[in-house]
Amino acid sequence: MRIGLTIGQAAAFAGVTVKAVRHYHQRGLVDEPDRDASGYRRYGSPQLLQLVRVRTLARAGVPLAEIPTMLDAGPSRFAATVDEIDRRLADDIAELEARRTTLRRLGSGDRALLPDRACAILDRLRELDFDAVAFDTYREGMILAKALFPSGFDAYLARFAEAIGDPEYVDLMKGVWAAGAWEPDDPRVEALAAAVADHLLNHPRLTRFPDDLNASDAATRYGLINHHGGQEQSPTFDRLTALIEKRLRAGGVDIPRD
């Protein structure tokens, strides 16, 4: 009489594949039964019980290498190991949820890289009718600021929101972008630089730089923010920026030299 289950039947009862059963044999997790007179391996209740235990632990997230230790452990050690695995699973779940959140944000463009507060400012820039080059540069600037000045990013956003809430400063910002079409030696460049710098000096909160700029590489970080996007292409922007910074430094603002 043939007693026991074939490997296929045992795998089906345990809820795994035949390949998995053979892998468990190779890892020493499940005893491999002897062959019967017909040459078939017959799985009895001991092997089936082993299969069920291994499958349950593996599906719970226990690495196969740790299963023998758990199976040989006493009740207290087993419980402690289960608690540790539970903590790891909780961390994995949190990581997966974070990835899901990022994926959902990818569908809305900027929200994949920027927090909602920053996206609200970008929405306001659209409402204020900044042109595409200006908008893209401000967006890129925010992404860079978030990476380069993480501890001061919230303060950076607060200053940005305050700045675009001031109609006079918004007009000056638009004037700066319009100046990109001027020649560098256009006399309007110096007048615009003076107007921008004076406005900033009269609103000192707008000139407070992130704490991260106290670092030894402050000039490098500042330069990456200050020279990117469309501004990289225009010598007029270079002159305008230099004039604004010169006037701000003369007014006591400590601006890193890049």
> What are the pLDDT digits (tens) for 35-89?
888 888 899 998 998 999 899 888 888 889 888 888 887 778 878 888 888 888 8
CA proximity to 177, closest of 130, 239, 143: 130
Residues in the chain predicted with pLDDT less than 70, given as ranges, are: 1-2, 102-112, 209-233, 257-258
Q: What is the pLDDT of residue 85?
A: 83
**Which residues, in sequence order, are CB contacts of 2 under 8 Å at separation 6+?**
36, 38, 40, 42
Closest CA to 122 of 102, 139, 146, 141: 139
For the chain, give the DSSP string.
Answer: ---SB-HHHHHHHHTS-HHHHHHHHHTTSSPPPPB-TTS-B-B-HHHHHHHHHHHHHHHTT--GGGHHHHHHS-HHHHHHHHHHHHHHHHHHHHHHHHHHHHHHHHTTGGGGTS-HHHHHHHHHHHHTT--HHHHHHHHHHHHHHHHH-GGGHHHHHHHHHHHHT-HHHHHHHHHHHHGGGS-TT-HHHHHHHHHHHHHHHHSGGGGPPPGGGGSTTHHHHHHHHHS-GGGGG-HHHHHHHHHHHHHHHHTT------
pLDDT at site 81: 80
**For residue 18, what pLDDT is reported?**
95
Quote the CA–CA distance of 257 and 15 in Å, as a whole number.
67
Check if the beta carbon of residue 58 is closer than 8 Å to that of residue 67.
yes
Please give the pLDDT value at position 1. 41
Looking at the DSSP bridge assignments, the partners of residue 35 are 41
Task: Indicate the pTM of the whole model.
Answer: 0.55
Return phi, psi of residue 41, to 5°.
-80, 130
- Cβ neighbors of 28 (< 8 A, separation 6 or more) are 68
**What's the CA gap between 37 and 16, in Å, rounded?**
26
Q: What is the pLDDT of residue 80?
A: 84
